[in-house]
Amino acid sequence: MMGSIDFVFLCSFTVSVIWAASLSPKTIEDSDPGFDLYMGYDNLEEYDNHPIQFDHPLPDWLKGSLIRNGVGRYEVGNRKVENLLDGFAKITKWTFPGDGTTSFSTKFLRTSFYNESMSSNDIAPYATLGPLDPPFTLEETLKALENGMDNPNVNVYNFTENIVVLYDLWIMYNIDPRTLNLQEKINADVPNAKMGFPYASPISCAHPLQEIGTEHHLTFLGSLALLPGLKHKLTLVRVKSSTDREMIAQWEVENMPYMHSFSVTKKYAIFLGSPYFYEIQRMLKNLNMADTMVWYPDKPTMIYLVELSTGKVQTLQTECMFTMHHINAFEMDDQHIAVDVSDFGEAGVFSRASVEVIRNQTLRNSLLKSQPVIKRYILNLKDNTVDVMKFPSPARLPFSSNFDLPTINEKYRGKEYCFVYGFSAMIDGINYSNSSIVKKDMCKNTTDRAWFMKHHYLMEAWFVPFPQGTAEDDGYLLTPVLDGENRKSYLAVIDARNMTLVNKAELPTTVPFNIHGRLFDL
C-alpha cells in the first residue's frame, strides 16, 4: 500500500497550467488546437532509433542521449484511470552520435504493472493515486494493495555507472539506455538506517543531486512510524552506486512532509518541509491514495539544513508555502544561505488532476487557480531566522517570475548563479496552447527573456553548455514541442543567450507531455 504514494510528483505540470487561468478575466476566444495530443490522451506508438533530420547541421560537440520520462497511456481494454497522474510510464530518447545524425526512440516501460495490463487487456491490480473507471473489485483492490506502485514515470537519472528511472519512492529501476529496456528493480538497504518494522520506508525523492566535488549523489529516505508514540524519520543518504548507500544523517519529524526535490551546496543539503503531510491513519483506510496526504494552511514550513561533513541537522521555520521544484541554492557567506524555489502557495490541486477535467477546455479553465512564484529563502544560520525575497518581472514579460519545471546550467549547481529557465503556461490568460520557456535573470531582474509560439505546447527544457563557453548562459536549451495546429511534434534547440529558436527536427509521432530527464554522455 505504501508504494502507491509517489504519483504526486507528476502534478507539477498540472499545477503550472492551473495558475494561469487567474491572469485574465477575459472569456475564452480561441480553442486549444492539438491539446488532445498533448496531455490526457493515449499515444501507443513506439519507435526504435528512427532517423530524424534537423533543419540545420548540428555541432559535432553535441553528443549523447537526451532521455525523458513521462506518460503515454490512460486506458486499457474497458478500464481507464481517472487521475491524470496514473498513466503508464513512457520513455522518449534522442541520440546524438556526434556525426551529424540523430535518432529518435520512444517506448513504454515494461514494468510488471504494464506487462500484466497488456496481457489481460485490462488495468492490472496495482496501487494508483486515484480511482479507476470502472473501479477494482474487492479482490482486485486487495491485490493492488499487496502489489503496491510499479509505474516510475517521473525522472531519469544517472548514479555513476547506472541510469535509473524513478519517482518519489525509494524503489527504482535500472534501464539499458540503448534499448530503454528495464533491468533490475532496486530496493537498496541503507546501513544503520531504521527501515524495518515499526517503520515503513517507501518515501524518497524524484530529484537526486550530485554531491558537489565528488562522484557521489544525494537523496533522502522517508520512514513512516507505524505505531502510536513513535516519530517519523528522515534520512539523508549518500549514493555511491545504485545499490551502495551510506547514511549521512537521520532525524525525527513530528509530521512527514511530501518533498519532491531539495537543494545542495558544497557544505549543506537543504530540505523544505511544507505542511503537506502523509497521514498514516488515512493510508490504512483510504483506497484513493490522493486522500492520504493533508494540507495544513495554518502551519509553517520546516527547513532542515544538514551539514554534509558532520551530519548535524539545524531546523528553521518560514512561511506556509508549497514547492515541487527547488531551483538552486548557494552559500552567500559563512552565516547565510540562499535557497531558490518555485512556490505554489498551497498543495490543494493534487487531488483534482482529473483526466475528465483536462480533456474539457471549459473545465480546464475553471480549475482552482494556483500561481507559482519564484522566491528566495535566505537562511540566517546565526540567529535561526529566514527572510523571504521575491523577484519582480518587467512589464513586457509579466509572467517571467511565475513558472515551474526549472533548469539551470548544472556547472553552477550549489554556487552563486544568475539564470534559470522554466516553463510558464497559458501566458495570455486565455489559452493553454500559449505557453513559454522563460529565462529569468535572478541577478538583475531586467534582462528576462522568453520564447513562445502561438499554439505550440512546451515542456521542461534541459540546458546544454557550449564546450568553450565562458558565460553562464552560453549554451542551448533542448525541449520537445507540440505544434498544435499542424498536429506534429519536434525537438527544439533554443539559444539560451537570446532565447531564439536556432534549430529543430520534426518527429515521426507526437510526443505527449513529459516532465523530467537530461542529456547523458553515452
Which residue positions form the known binding site for Fe cation?
A: 207, 260, 325, 516
Which residue, chain included where needed, has cell 531564439? 500
Binding residues: 207, 260, 325, 516
What Å distances lie between residue 99 and 48, 168, 179, 302, 437, CA to CA? 19, 37, 20, 50, 29
Q: What is the largest CA-CA distance in the chain?
A: 64
Which is nearest to 201 in space by CA: 289, 285, 140, 278? 278
Measured distance CA(370)–CA(19) in Å, rounded: 4
Asked if 363 and 353 touch (Cβ cutoff 8 Å), the reply is: no
The beta-carbon contacts of 393-397 under 8 Å, at least 24 apart in sequence, are 393/445, 393/448, 394/445, 394/446, 394/448, 397/438, 397/448, 397/449, 397/450
**Beta strand spans in 308-424 (E):** 313-318, 323-333, 336-343, 373-380, 385-390, 404-407, 419-424
Q: Which three cell numbers stand for residue 285?
A: 483506510
What Å distances lie between residue 228 and 1, 157, 224, CA to CA? 19, 36, 11
Measured distance CA(245)–CA(243) in Å, rounded: 6
Phi/psi of residue 320, nearest 5 degrees: -65, 120
Which is nearest to 101 in space by CA: 53, 59, 50? 53
| DSSP structural state of residue 58 | P
Measured distance CA(268)–CA(306) in Å, rounded: 5
Element (H, E) at 363: helix 361-365
Q: In sequence order, what are the residues at sequence separation of 6 or more whose Cβ sits closer than 8 angstroms to the Cβ of residue 127? A: 1, 3, 4, 144, 145, 147, 148, 149, 289
Buried b (16+ CB within 10 A) or exposed e, 413-434: bbbebbbbbbbbbbbbbbbbbb
Measured distance CA(316)–CA(386) in Å, rounded: 7
Amino acid at 367: L
Asked if 219 and 246 touch (Cβ cutoff 8 Å), the reply is: no
Q: In sequence order, what are the residues at sequence separation of 6 or more whose Cβ sits closer than 8 angstroms to the Cβ of residue 410? A: 463, 465
Overall size of the chain counted in residues: 522
Which is nearest to 512 in space by CA: 457, 463, 436? 457
Measured distance CA(385)–CA(214) in Å, rounded: 30
Measured distance CA(424)–CA(416) in Å, rounded: 24
Measured distance CA(88)–CA(75) in Å, rounded: 9
Which residue, chain included where needed, has cell 524503489? 171
